[in-house]
Amino acid sequence: MKVPYNPKTSYKASASDKRTWRTLEVALEAKEKYLFSGLGFVFTEESDIIGIDIDKCLVDGQPNEVATAILEKTPPTYIEVSPSKTGLHIFLRNSMSRCGNRNSECGVEMYSAKRFFTVTGNRWRDCADEIVLDNGCIQWIFDTYIKPKKAKNRANKLII
């Protein structure tokens, strides 16, 4: 289970309580001091960073069909292999505040606030080392993989 911890106190943190967050420098020091297994990044509306998590998309290091389609649409930005080594985390800049959902069937999640990703620093192939501005792919990912499909209207019959 991925549980966030406060680097200052070593007690559990909250992705929705900024009083439990710290800077990267403080987190790195706490990682060594408290022997934490990794680091996390909290998404906030103020950061304008969107996180796309594609779970279980790497098989023998190769992206599956969903990941390939998303990677083809993604501008050169920071992408890393997830802690499980079977997923990808894509980071993009965009002030889209409404995104925050997932589709368990295809393994795609997208968040902009009150969530965190465990981060590895294990860059995907030759990805950029900076988080760049979205080129429209966030909306495409949302429309293609996240947005709920509309249910077909069915005639409702009352049986007495």
Would you kindly state where each structural domain of the chain is located, as residue ranges? 1-37, 43-146
SS3 of residue 50 by DSSP? strand
Question: Which run of H or of E encompasses 31?
Answer: helix 24-34
Higher per-residue confidence, 93 vs 2? 93
Q: Which two tokens stand for residue 105?
A: 């069937």
The listed CATH number (1.10.10, 3.40.50, 3.30.2250, 3.30.420) that belongs to domain 43-146 = 3.30.2250
- CA 6, 82, 100, 7: dihedral to nearest 10 degrees? 10
Q: Could you tell me the pTM of the whole model?
A: 0.86
Give me the pLDDT at residue 160, please.
Answer: 40
Mean local confidence (pLDDT), 8-18 = 92
CB-based contact 54:70 (threshold 8 Å): yes
In this predicted structure, the answer to whether residue 152 has a pLDDT above a threshold of 70 is: no
Q: For 106-139, write each residue's pLDDT tens digit.
A: 999 999 988 999 999 999 999 999 999 999 999 9
Start-to-end CA distance of the chain, whole Å, equals: 49
Instruction: Give the model's pLDDT for residue 57.
Output: 98
